[in-house]
């Protein structure tokens, strides 16, 4: 039992580092997703404006 506890204790720092890395990655991914959603919304608005302008030119 003591060997198992020692093995767990030995891997704890590595697991803590991995957890911190995953949390950082998750935060970065969420920021990128928010930026992508904002850009998508802006592009959608631009597309609508361009479609409107095309309709005006076709008249």
CA distance 23 to 15: 12
**Which domain does 22 fall in, by range?**
1-59
Helical spans, DSSP H, in 1-59: 2-58
Residue 28, number of CB atoms within 10 A of its CB: 10
pLDDT at 46: 98
Between residues 31 and 59, which one has the greater pLDDT?
Answer: 31
Q: How many folded domains does the chain comprise?
A: 1
- Rounded to two decimals, the pTM is 0.68
Tell me what pLDDT residue 59 has. Answer: 87
Kindly state the DSSP code that residue 36 receives in the 8-state scheme: H
What confidence tens digit (pLDDT) does each residue in 8-53 have? 999 999 999 999 999 999 999 999 999 999 999 999 999 999 999 9
Residue 16 has a pLDDT of 97
């Amino acid at each position: 039992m003591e060997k198992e506890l020692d093995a767990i204790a030995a891997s704890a720092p590595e697991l803590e580092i991995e957890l911190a890395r995953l949390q950082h990655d998750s935060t970065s991914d969420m920021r990128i997703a928010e930026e992508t959603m904002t850009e998508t919304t802006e592009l959608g608005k631009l597309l609508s404006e361009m479609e409107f302008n095309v309709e005006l030119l076709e008249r």
